[in-house]
Amino acid sequence: MPSYDIVGDIAVVKFDKEKKSEKIKFARELLQRPNVKVVVEKADRIKGRLRTAEMNHIAGEKRKDTLYKENGCSFRLNVQTCYFSSRLSEERKKIAEKINKNDRVLVMFAGVAPFSIIIAKFSGCKEVVSVEISKACSKYALENVRINKLDNVRVIQGDVKKKLAGLGTFTKIVMARPNLKETFLKYALDASGKGTIIYYYGFAHVDDKDKMVEKLKKEAYELGRKIRINEVVRAGDIAPYKFRWRVEIKVV
């Protein structure tokens, strides 16, 4: 059976080698569910800096934008132009639980702002700065801040390499990184002071987990910064034996 995710009222299906008629039959079955109004096919892999994939309409209403609800918050997004994973909902909640009222939080690679908004809403923290390079995602991020009625989230559209200067330091930094080679750790360290906690997301085969952590330690050392690794936990599956890891880094 094809695998699928439901985002709002859109079913995003990953077919294997099904014929067109089989795809339509499967899509029509999904449309029987009261919560599904659109079925799209994820036609290729998530790729590039923006982490988007081609989505082809298969059945139902002809649109790719939706309203998705999670952790008591609402998010508008377009499944074609914005990276979004409903599978990260538990992870977002776990991170929000680690933030307290006095924190000043930076969310790098913020997308349509799910981490930023859930953190801001549940912690009631002073400020969340949400940085995302995609114009499409940032437009939705602004709308999402408004529909969730928050006044403690600031959305910045642009490259984390250029947009962090002048923002000062943060007590907590969430690096919801794209699965790319570059670690971007330097930019998080530039926005860190003594005691800052960085939640770094890395992608590695279970056998390469230690190598991934050693690379972070080496990078920090070469930048003249001292870090301590508090914990490394699994935060999602990517492929057989390959996981998304959350590395909790303390800047000391």
Site residues (CB under 6 A) for ligand SAM? 49-51, 83-85, 88, 109-111, 114-115, 131-134, 137, 159-161, 176, 178
4 vs 84, which CB is nearer to ligand SAM? 84
CB of 151 to ligand SAM, least distance (A): 21
88 vs 249, which CB is nearer to ligand SAM? 88
- Name the residue with the smallest CB distance to ligand SAM: 111
56 vs 183, which CB is nearer to ligand SAM? 183
Cα–Cα nearest to 73, from 143, 135, 132, 17: 143
**Residue 165 φ/ψ, nearest 5 degrees:** -60, 135
23 vs 177, which CB is nearer to ligand SAM? 177
26 vs 199, which CB is nearer to ligand SAM? 199
Q: What is the Cα–Cα distance from 133 to 110, expressed in whole angstroms?
A: 9
CB of 207 to ligand SAM, least distance (A): 23
**Residue 75 φ/ψ, nearest 5 degrees:** -135, 125
CB of 22 to ligand SAM, least distance (A): 31
CB of 110 to ligand SAM, least distance (A): 5
Alpha-carbon radius of gyration of the chain: 19
Burial class (CB in 10 A: 0-12, 13-18, 19+), 167: middle
Question: β-strand 3-7 against 10-14: which pairing, if any?
Answer: antiparallel
CB of 237 to ligand SAM, least distance (A): 15
Q: Which bin fits 158, alpha (ψ -120 to 50), beta or left (φ > 0)?
A: left
